[in-house]
Structure 1
């Protein structure tokens, strides 16, 4: 349907003037609107109350409402034929005097001036001026900046004053509010962060709700919370993420601290390949223009034992009989189980290993093993040196304890001590003064000798040993035995002596037969022609009977030869 623009005021005026008829005036023609101005809420239903009059004798042929637009033929457009109104417009009047209509679901586009038009069997009438309809929506007006603790007033505003008396309703996050409503205003006293939300308003009995407005209440940060990822056990070498969550408005700036040291910024703090050095207390600081708050959290990193070491108490010199404590220090998480070893032998467990009344048998290398579920490690070995005075002191005889006059025997003093004994004293029983010093001692006389070993921790004496010095013929054999070093040499010597004896026997007989009586047995042994040794040796020989004379000579000669051989060997 084509239409023309609305007619000019002059044209409208002319259209309203009826053709004059005898006995009829314009005062008999009228259209009345009540009210003439309507402010309606968007999406509501509007009733335009209307009455009209016309002279007696006229019959109504057609009634309709229009916005003033005309068709090509010059006739006004009937809204009931307009596609935008056909479903929403309802004529409530009659064809006599009531011209009321209802317009449903009004929109902002429906804001216009509307007119009633009627036609009789004789004339047409246009109800000018018409009724003005203004359709309005609702808008929530709120302060731009609200801080926690402020008092806030929200206003539900429309572009015109609603014709019908309105009862306003309010919503926060689509939930109705029941307090603080005065007229078209919502009053919030001493707002808190809980009042933050989206606020909208409406009119009771109407479906239309205003667009929501965010009430942004600014406040300082709440205490931040740190979450750790992964949330389970953290092992050395893992990658760990710390996340700081903080409730604040405006959003807070986040700073990270380890202890009191600044380590980073931003809501997320990453640590790649974490180590035990990263263990400790971490906190994030949440700060905005209204204040600041700190969190607290401990980062507990699991790792295998390291830095395992042993300390000894007392730390100085350890004496036999002391109580000694070995302490194993180990850096590990979780705490490690401690085992103790002496050499390769397990000797105990626990961080502290005590040895009461320590002895030299406890000397040696000790180490501890630190072990947890992530691994194990040994300490370096520490040497436990136990100091003690000499003990087990004894005398060793180098050779035999029997010697002959003029020779000596070597005595050696042996002892067990720590530190080793450096001072040795030698004593002869029943004598108060020392007869020698040093670890070895040469005994030249018979007696019972003992040694005494000394170090800085004390001394101890040995048991006594007996040294016997022989005088006489036995000396040669003893010296030979001592110097020969074995029975084999002694046998050879005896054979040599026997052979020599036989030879000498023949020589002695020969001398005896050729000598004069004056130069007999005793003359041959004249001391002037013999050595003093031989003479001394033979002074113990006694004369024999005549029938045994030759045998005595052999015995004496054997003694002489033995003595001479002893001299040679010696």
Structure 2
């Protein structure tokens, strides 16, 4: 029995078994983790360990100094001795911090002596490091996540983006993948790396144009256009452009128009661009400017009003919103507002029967929700009604036309008569020349050739005289005073016989060969 007790005592470290000594192992720990520095010690037999102590070496100006761990300003329980008083001297350090890195020594005391290790265990403090490659990408590019610990021992890690778990460490980046990534030790998620941002660039989206002030915009107000967008990289000041009805207005994120007028009304939109994409349009915004009635005009139909006729006065204007009230006034005195008499309402003033009392100056007043404005005064003039008889100019025109017609008819008649006379004279000349007479169709015509001296009256032959005495006659004598005295003057004598012979020839007509009708031609030559 005593032999077994001796063998057990010999095999137990520190009892009859060896020399003084401490064996330590270096350790790598991640910041925030708990780690154990492995340690064993030995001592000669017949010594009983009475106390154990861990030290940390701290370099000072006077050299490397060892301080008991219990004397360091650390939270309670930060250092935890997990060894015993036989041979195990391991040390656990909870929530390792950067300040824990350094050299550690172990010492103990026995009933016979004390011992401090001549070597040390070095604790390296590392941390998890997140690597995002590349950290700035254009939407659609490939991204790879890597977690680096710094310690050689393998560790299982998990990934988070903005606190949310990430399932894959390799992916095609989209704008929703942008954020801050970190890795952590599986099961000890409080031990994590510093976050690293993934920057995913993309073209502008949600481009929006807004107007200020909000609500109804009145003429004369100041209006500010502001363009915004969601883009990465953000759109710069020069990356915004403002357009009205397709026409360029200006650059910049904000654009103001003071003293807004109806001419500024239209459809506006803005464009945004960055280095990823260009010219992304916002939706159109309608700028509606409210203004009181303007450009008021009054028209009359008909423009010239005759007494007793009807006339309509129509008032028109430009307004936004449209005019909803029209009032008509007539001026009763040369000036002053009190001389205006309201005579009607509505866009049209109708006067069915024009009388002298209706003539004068009229004005139209137009009103909408934005204000009220007056037209200029217009003069309504009445023209007196004329009688039913045609006016003097018309009668004078008719008289002149009638006189001209008579003159033309007289000229035509004279021309026809002259032509007939020329023919008869020509027939008389033929008779004197021995030619056969040409019998005219003129009723009871007598042709006489009369040769007249310059001062004597024409003589007619006895035969012609007898015929003239027994007949109703008319003699036409044609004499040209410009001819010489020996020229022949032809005289036409027309004889209407009282009685006609049965054979149709007059008693004096003994030279007519053919049978004739009652009409008889007598040729006479008179020489003076």
Counterpart among 157, 163, 166 of residue 156 in structure 2 = 166
Residue of structure 2 in register with 1:155 after alignment: 146
Change over 3 Å in CA distance of 1:74–1:277 after alignment to 2? closer
Counterpart among 346, 349, 364 of residue 349 in structure 1 = 346
RMSD over equivalenced CA pairs, Å = 4.1
TM-score, normalised via structure 1 length: 0.54
Change over 3 Å in CA distance of 1:47–1:231 after alignment to 2? same
Residue of structure 2 in register with 1:261 after alignment: 247
Contact 1:342 1:364 in 2 (8 A): no
TM-score, normalised via structure 2 length: 0.58
Contact 2:311 2:354 in 1 (8 A): no
Counterpart among 149, 155, 172 of residue 190 in structure 1 = 172
Q: How many angstroms apart in 1 are the aligned matches of 2:218 and 2:231?
A: 34
Q: How many angstroms apart in 2 are the aligned matches of 1:73 and 1:318?
A: 124
SS of the residue corresponding to residue 83 of structure 1 reads coil
Q: How many equivalent pairs are there? A: 365
Residue of structure 2 in register with 1:110 after alignment: 100
The Cα offsets for residues 356-412 of structure 1, whole Å up to 9 and x where unpaired, read as: 9x8756987665432112222233355677999845x5xxxxxxxxxxxxxxxxxxx
Q: How many angstroms apart in 2 are the aligned matches of 1:43 and 1:321?
A: 110
Change over 3 Å in CA distance of 1:74–1:194 after alignment to 2? closer
Structure 1 residue 231, shift from structure 2 partner: 0.8
The Cα offsets for residues 14-62 of structure 1, whole Å up to 9 and x where unpaired, read as: xxxxxxxxx999x6555344xx343222122222232223333332243
Residue of structure 1 in register with 2:267 after alignment: 281
Q: How many angstroms apart in 2 are the aligned matches of 1:379 and 1:256?
A: 38
Change over 3 Å in CA distance of 1:78–1:297 after alignment to 2? same
Counterpart among 48, 51, 60 of residue 40 in structure 2 = 51
Residue of structure 2 in register with 1:99 after alignment: 89
Residue of structure 2 in register with 1:405 after alignment: none
In structure 2, list runs of 5 or more residues that go unmatched: 1-14, 331-340, 401-528
Contact 1:363 1:386 in 2 (8 A): yes
Q: How many angstroms apart in 2 are the aligned matches of 1:265 and 1:93?
A: 75
Structure 1 residue 267, shift from structure 2 partner: 2.0
Contact 1:367 1:380 in 2 (8 A): yes
Residue of structure 1 in register with 2:208 after alignment: 225
Counterpart among 212, 221, 226 of residue 238 in structure 1 = 221
Structure 1 residue 290, shift from structure 2 partner: 1.5
Contact 1:237 1:273 in 2 (8 A): yes
Q: How many angstroms apart in 2 are the aligned matches of 1:370 and 1:75?
A: 101
Residue of structure 1 in register with 2:323 after alignment: 336
Q: How many angstroms apart in 2 are the aligned matches of 1:264 and 1:277?
A: 17
Q: How many angstroms apart in 1 are the aligned matches of 2:189 and 2:118?
A: 31
SS of the residue corresponding to residue 242 of structure 1 reads strand
Change over 3 Å in CA distance of 1:154–1:165 after alignment to 2? closer
Query: More deviation in 146-155 or 115-124?
Result: 115-124
Structure 1 residue 110, shift from structure 2 partner: 1.4
In structure 1, list runs of 5 or more residues that go unmatched: 1-22, 181-185, 394-412, 416-420, 427-431, 435-570
Q: How many angstroms apart in 1 are the aligned matches of 2:59 and 2:215?
A: 81
1:370 is aligned to 2:370:
no
Residue of structure 1 in register with 2:296 after alignment: 308
Change over 3 Å in CA distance of 1:69–1:263 after alignment to 2? closer
Structure 1 residue 113, shift from structure 2 partner: 2.9
